[in-house]
Amino acid sequence: MAMNFEQARLNMVENQVRPWEVLDARVLDVISHVHREDFVDSAHRQLAFADLCLPLGHGEVMMKPVVEGRVLQALALQPTDQVLEIGTGSGFLTACMATLSAQVTSLDIHADFIAAATKRLLAAGIANATLITGEAVNAWQPQGLFDALVVTGAVAEIPARWLTWLKPGGRALIVHGQSPVQHATLLTHEGAGRYREEVLFETDLPYLTHAEPPQRFVF
């Protein structure tokens, strides 16, 4: 029996995302209309709306729908916003943010992720996203500043250089800390190098390359 993707998407929004305190109408609308099933590996298409992290390859995962909803709501993207995404992954969150903002620059260390996400975004009619292969923890440097920054993997410690990429008033959503209890934190640039921190929720994501905790040796 063929899966009813429209009904499954509605159930995901009403039974998973909305009950997890995602009430922003624009966020619920974009999650309802961007076809999540088109951004997952074909082998996992039937699980596109499950309350699961789906494997992407390279040890990376696609975040749960509820986490994606909370991230989008916390960023409070505006139609004029310039957004930086570190960790393109499947491209689904990229598509959602591009729908809510003016422009998304999305960076991933894995060239095959960038190639696949580019095809998916084009198929979805998303034209305001620029995808780049690069390493964000130590090497890549943007040409300008951003209104919002989101990191789709975890970091043990937040790289200070990332925060310098935010405009005054800009927001960064970063998951950091020690697995299995990491904290999704919203940092808001208040100007003059000051950042207000708000811990939103706990989660557990794979670490970005070069952002893992230092190894501890046990004798």
Q: What is the pLDDT of residues 113-149, one digit of tens each?
A: 999 999 999 999 999 999 999 999 999 999 999 999 9
Residues 115-154: b if buried by 16+ CB within 10 A, e if exposed:
ebbbebbeebebeebebeeeebbeeeebeeebbbbbbbbb
Tens digits of residue pLDDT in 76-87 = 999 999 999 999
Alpha-carbon gap, residue 178 to 216, rounded angstroms: 12
The per-residue pLDDT for 193 is 87
Bridging pattern class, strands 194-203 and 166-178? unpaired
Mean pLDDT of 21-49: 95
Q: What is the tens place of the pLDDT at every residue in 155-199?
A: 999 999 999 999 999 999 999 999 999 999 999 999 988 999 999
**79 preceded by cis ω (within 30°)?**
no
What does residue 176 show for φ and ψ, rounded to 5 degrees?
A: -145, 165
Over range 84-109, report the average pLDDT. Answer: 98
pLDDT tens digits for 50-60?
A: 999 999 999 99
For residue 104, what is the enclosing H or E element? Answer: strand 103-108
The pTM assigned to this predicted structure is: 0.94
Mean pLDDT along residues 8-30: 96
Angle between helices 25-33 and 65-75 (to 10 degrees): 140
Q: How many whole angstroms separate alpha carbon 156 and alpha carbon 114?
A: 24
Residue 1 has pLDDT above 80, yes or no: no
pLDDT-derived band at 214 (thresholds 50, 70, 90) equals: confident
Among 34, 22, 37, which residue's Cα sits nearest to residue 98? 34
- Burial readout 173-189 (b: 16 or more C-beta within 10 A, e: otherwise): bbbbbeeeebbbbbbeb
**What is the arithmetic mean of pLDDT over 193-219?**
89
Is 217's pLDDT higher than 60? no
Q: Which class would CATH give 5-203?
A: alpha beta
Q: What percent of the chain has pLDDT over 70?
A: 97
What average pLDDT does the chain have? Answer: 95
Integer Cα distance of 117 and 87 in angstroms? 11
Distance CA 218, CA 207 (A): 21
**In what helix (H) or strand (E) does residue 79 lie, and over which residues does it extend?**
none
By percentage, how much of the chain surpasses pLDDT 90?
94
> What is the rounded CA–CA span in Å between residue 157 and residue 81?
26
- Band (pLDDT 50/70/90 cuts) for residue 3 is confident
Q: Would you say residue 219 has pLDDT above 60? A: no
Report the chain's C-alpha Rg in angstroms: 17
Measured CA to CA, the distance from residue 115 to residue 90 in angstroms comes to: 10
pLDDT band at 38 (very low <50, low <70, confident <90, very high): very high
Domain ranges of the chain: 5-203
Distance in angstroms (rounded) separating the CA atoms of residues 179 and 169 = 30
